[in-house]
Amino acid sequence: HSVTRIDSLYGDKAIVQGKSILKLSMSGVMLMEGGMCSYGVSDTINELYAAYRNPNIAGIILEVNSGGGESVAGDALMSAVKDRNKPLVSVAHLAGSAAYKGILHSDEILGITESSRFGSIGTFISLPLNELKEYAETVLDIYADVSVNKNIEIREAFKGNFQPMKNLVNKSAISFQESVKELRNLKGSEAKITETLSGGVFSSNDAKSRGLIDGVASFGEAVKKLEFHIKNQK
């Protein structure tokens, strides 16, 4: 189960022009759907859209502590943050992989301490080899003659050919890298930018020097930055 949590705080940190600032917290492995005792990213997204519709909320602080999770969850959060109609600042203890991708459209991305970490830009798939072998030996899948490419990646994996699966992972990773290059002003030489995008994780100051984040700020300082965006929004 996902351990993503939502913590909504209305008006306890700042009031801007008579309106509240909403704080949402998201932590743990990012799964699209939650369970009986946990929230999923879909719940976080629902909270975001509710905030967008609420005229009493002037802006949003999104606090993140996640190393990532499902690619689809990162993509969905990224789309929801892009749809914002009011300022949103993300602060993070850890924002890696899908979690980092999800906050790329924030007005600012901030490390909450100098030891906060960002990056892990990349994609991978874990295949349980024992289960693959057992499935291939005990289950017969019969596909229509006109469905030769259906589930081709996993069908080839059953045969020991993992290249189609690798192609799928490569495509996803390149798309992730392109999103980061488009939405962040990456800094340094071409070699440094390549290193930044290759899956490493960087502490706040290093991440800032690479252009992955905008700075380091306490929660109170992040609220002040959000207030600035609220007062200067178009």
Q: How far apart are CA 228 and CA 21, in angstroms?
A: 12
Helices (H), the chain: 41-53, 71-82, 98-102, 129-138, 152-158, 163-183, 190-196, 204-210, 219-231
* Cα separations in angstroms, 2 against 37, 41, 47, 68, 103: 9, 8, 17, 11, 18
Query: What DSSP character marks residue 149?
Result: T
Is the pTM higher than 0.95?
Answer: no
Mean pLDDT, range 203-229, rounded to an integer: 95
39 confidence band (pLDDT: 50, 70, 90): confident
Provide the pLDDT for residue 35: 66
pLDDT tens per residue, range 83-114: 999 999 999 999 999 999 999 999 999 999 99
Mean pLDDT, range 205-213, rounded to an integer: 98
Whether the CA torsion 98, 120, 205, 212 is positive or negative: it is negative
Statement: residue 10 has pLDDT above 50: no
Is residue 64 a contact partner of residue 103, using CB atoms and an 8 Å limit?
yes
Provide the pLDDT for residue 12: 40
Q: What angle is formed at CA 118 by the lines to CA 197 and CA 28, rounded to 5 degrees?
A: 120
Mean pLDDT of the chain: 89
List the one residue out of 54, 2, 62 whose CA is nearest residue 28: 2
Statement: residue 1 has pLDDT above 80: no
